[in-house]
Structure 1
Amino acid sequence: MDQDSPVLFGRRGAVATATLNLPKALNALNLEMIELLSRQLDDWADDDSVACVWIDGSGDKGLCAGGDVVSLYRESPAYGEKPDYDFTTRFFSREYRLDYRIHTYEKPIVVWGGGIVMGGGIGIVAGASHRIATETTRMAMPEVTIGLFPDVGGSWFLNRMPGRLGLFLGLTGAQFNGSDALFAGLADRMLPNERRESVLTELAGLEFFADSKRNREQVSNCLKRLELPQDERPPSILREHYDQVQNLTDFATLPDVCQAIRSYDGDDKWLQKAAATLAAGSPLTPWIVWEQLERGRYLSLAEVFRMELALAVNLCASGHVREGVRALLIDKDRKPQWQPASLDEVSAEQVEACFSEPWAENPLADL
C-alpha cells in the first residue's frame, strides 16, 4: 500500500477499510480522494469477500474537517468576473455522488467519527449505516462563514433533526458534540475514542454472511456491546439548548429569525458564539438555508443532491465563495467584502437565481 496516497485502503478479514490520509489538512476532501473512495466502494460492492466497509481518518485529530475549499478558491471567479462552472461542477457532482452512494450502499458501512467532523466530513458520516461518535467528536456545518451553504445532503439531514435545530445549525454553523450527534440523528452509537483499533478488530472477528441485512444486524449488535456508558458521555449541548433554540427560531420570516439570534445578549457562551458567527457570516447564505430547507422538506434524497449541486455551483460562479474563502483562509483578514453586503439587500431574484440549474441536464440526473 502506498502510504503517501490520500486514501489508504486495506482489509481485515471480511472488513474492507478506507482511511482518509491527509492529516496535515485535517483530511479535507479533495477531488482525488473523492474519486479514489468512489471507485473503491464500487469495487467492494461487487466483491463477495467483502461483507462490511470501515471508513476513518488518519491521525488523531478527526475524520475530516470538510471539503478542499482552497481548491474551490483557486478555480472560482471573483465578483464580477466571467462565471466558470467546469471545476466546481466536476468537484461537487462527484462529491455528492459519493455521498449518495454511501446513503444507498447495500453492505454495512461503519464510519468512525471521532474528533473533527465538519462540512464534507458530515457528508461521509450522514449516509453510513453505522455512524460512530466518540467523546471527542466535534461537528459543524460552518459554511455561512465562507458564503457557501450546508450541503452534502444538509437539506436532507438538517430537516430531520428535532424541531428547528437543523435551521439553527445551518444559519449559525454552531459546533456540537457526539452526544448532540446522537440526539440530532447524525450518529448511532458513542464509543470510547481510544478504542478505535480494538473496535475494528472486534468487527473483523465477527461471523459474516452472504446476506447484507444479517451483516448489518451483526455489526449493530457488536457496536452496541462496545458503547460508552451514559455517565461517561459529554452532556448534549443541543438537548440542553433545545427550548432556547426553538424560541429563537420561532418566527415566520428569515429576517426575524436572524434578528432574534443575533440579538442574543445572555451569558451562554455557545449561543454567544452562534450569534457572532451568523452576524459575521455571508448575508446570502441564510436566505439559501431558509429556502433549501423549505424546498427540501419533501424531496427525495436524489432530488436533494440535484438541488444542492445547482446551489453550490452557482454560489461559486458568483464570486461569493471565493470572497469568503479569501477572507477566512487565504488572506486571513476575516473581513469579507460580501456582495450584497447585508441581509436586507439580498433580493428574492438573487436567491432564486442560485437555485436555477446552469446546465441543459443536471449531472446527477441519473441518481
Structure 2
Amino acid sequence: MSDVLIRVEGRVGRITLNRPARLNALTLEMVEHIRVALDAWETDSGVEFVLIDGAGERGLCAGGDIREVYEATLAADFGANESFFRNEYQLNARIAEYPKPYVALMEGIVMGGGIGLSAHGSHRIVTERSRVAMPETGIGFFPDIGATWLLSRAPREICMHIALTGDAIGAADALLCGLADVYVPSVRLPALLEALLNCGAVGLEDCIQAHSEAPPPGVLEAGRGWIEACYAGASVEAIVAALATREEPPARKAAATVALRSPSSLKITLQALRTAPARGGLRACLDREFGMALVRTSGHDFVEGVRAAIVDKDRKPHWVPAHLEEMSDGEVAQFFANAALKPSLWLDEGSA
C-alpha cells in the first residue's frame, strides 16, 4: 500500500499520510506524490479544496524521515539530502501559495516536516490531542520547513522558547503562535470530516466554524512574563542564565531542557529567528534554510544527534562543541556564510 493515499472524494482532494508505524514520517517519494496531486488539482474544476490528514491514531506526521537523511549522510550521498530538502521546502511554499483552500487536520503529533505540511495551509485545525513541536535542536539541527518565517510572526519571545527548547505545545498555544486557526474537539472530528466531504469551498468556513469552539487554556500565555523577560537575552548563554534564576518552575525546567540541546544548534537557531523578519518573506526564509540544512546535515552534531535520539536511542549525544561558550559569534557568522554559498532553493524554478 502507498505511503500516501491520494484520491478525490466529492469535491475534495484528499491526502492521507499512510505510514502509521513510522508516525507518518515524510519521505521524498511522499513529497513528490503530494506535489503531483496539488498540481493536478489546481486546474481541476471538480476539486474545490484540499484536505490532508494522517493515518493511525498517533498523529498527522512526526516530521521528515530523518533517519533516511542520516543514512545518506553516513554514505556521503549529499545529493540525496539535497534532493529531499529541495523538494520538501518547495512543497512548503507550494502549500502556502496554493490558490484553493488547503485544510489540515493537525490531530495528535505534528512535528517538524508535519508542521511544514500543515501550518502553511489556509485552514489549520487542532484538537485537544494536538502536540505541535519543532524539536530539531535536540538532534543537532534547527527549526526548518519555513519555521524561521512561521515563528518570526509569533509573539517574539514565545517563538524563541518553542524553538530553543523544542517542547511540544497544545491547541491553545498553537493558536496563540499562529500555527493553527481553529480548535475542534477530537470527538467532533468524524462529524467534521463527513461535513467537509459534503461541502464546497463556498461553505467551507461555515462548516469548520460549526464544529469549532474555544480551546482549553494553554500554558504559554500564562507564562508570558518570565518568557518575555528571559528570552529577550542577547545570547543563548544570557537566556539560559535568566531562565535558571527565575522562581517559576517552568522557567527552570526550560533552562534544564535547553542545556541538553546541541549548543551549536541553539546559537544557529537564535540567529536565524532574530534575522528572519528581514529576509523578505517565506520564500526567502526557505531559501536560507535550504543552505543551512545542506551545511548542517553534513556536520557532526546532526549525525550524533540522530544517532542518540533515533538510532541507538541512548539519549546521550556528545555535542561538538559541548558548551555554549565554546562557539563564538564568528563561528556562527561563518556557518551562515557557508550556507549562503550553497545553491538556491529556487534554481529549478527560475526565481530567486
Task: Please say whether Structure 1 and Structure 2 have the same fold, judged by a TM-score greater than 0.5.
Answer: yes
* Corresponding position: 1:244 with 2:241: no
CA contact (8 A) 2:286 2:345 kept: no
Equivalent position to 2:277, from 297, 316, 335: 297
Give the structure 1 partner of residue 206 of structure 2. 221
Displacement after TM superposition at 1:361 (Å): 3.4
CA contact (8 A) 1:144 1:172 kept: yes
The one-letter amino acid of 1:148's match is: F
CA contact (8 A) 2:16 2:54 kept: yes
- How many equivalent residue pairs? 347
Distance 2:254 2:189 in 1: 31
1:244-323 alignment to 2 at 5 Å? 244-261=226-243, 263=244, 266=247, 268=249, 270-299=250-279, 300-323=281-304
Displacement after TM superposition at 1:31 (Å): 1.2
> Secondary structure at the residue paired with 1:158?
helix
TM-score by length of 1: 0.90
Give the structure 2 partner of residue 212 of structure 1. none
CA contact (8 A) 1:145 1:277 kept: no
Task: Give CA deviations for 1:141-188 in whole Å, capped at 9, x if unaligned.
Answer: 111110000111111111111131111111111111011111111111
CA contact (8 A) 2:188 2:211 kept: no
1:178-193 alignment to 2 at 5 Å? 178-193=171-186
Distance 2:294 2:113 in 1: 15
Give the structure 1 partner of residue 67 of structure 2. 70
Per chain length, whose mean CA-contact separation is higher, i.e. which structure has more relative contact order (CA < 8 Å, sep 6+)? 1
Higher deviation after alignment, 18-27 or 246-255: 246-255
Equivalent position to 2:152, from 159, 164, 176: 159
Displacement after TM superposition at 1:12 (Å): 2.0
Equivalent position to 2:85, from 78, 92, 103: 92
Task: Give CA deviations for 1:302-332 in whole Å, capped at 9, x if unaligned.
Answer: 1100000011110111232111000111111
- Alignment CA distance shift 1:271-1:12 (3 Å): farther
Give the structure 2 partner of residue 211 of structure 1. none
Displacement after TM superposition at 1:290 (Å): 1.3
Q: What is the Cα-based RMSD across aligned positions, in Å? A: 1.9
The one-letter amino acid of 1:330's match is: V
Distance 2:52 2:190 in 1: 12
> Secondary structure at the residue paired with 1:297?
helix
Displacement after TM superposition at 1:340 (Å): 1.3
Structure 1 segments unaligned to the other structure (5+ residues): 209-214
> Secondary structure at the residue paired with 2:295?
helix
Distance 2:88 2:284 in 1: 15
CA contact (8 A) 1:155 1:304 kept: yes
Give the structure 2 partner of residue 50 of structure 1. 47
Give the structure 2 partner of residue 119 of structure 1. 112
> Secondary structure at the residue paired with 1:235?
coil
- Alignment CA distance shift 1:144-1:357 (3 Å): closer
Displacement after TM superposition at 1:264 (Å): 5.1
CA contact (8 A) 1:8 1:20 kept: yes
TM-score by length of 2: 0.93
CA contact (8 A) 1:72 1:322 kept: no
> Secondary structure at the residue paired with 1:240?
coil
Displacement after TM superposition at 1:339 (Å): 1.2
Give the structure 2 partner of residue 202 of structure 1. 195
CA contact (8 A) 2:164 2:258 kept: yes
* Corresponding position: 1:177 with 2:157: no
Give the structure 1 partner of residue 19 of structure 2. 22
1:345-364 alignment to 2 at 5 Å? 345-355=326-336, 356-357=338-339, 361-364=343-346
The one-letter amino acid of 1:245's match is: I
Distance 1:87 1:354 in 2: 21
CA contact (8 A) 1:310 1:354 kept: no
Distance 1:47 1:90 in 2: 28
> Secondary structure at the residue paired with 1:56?
strand
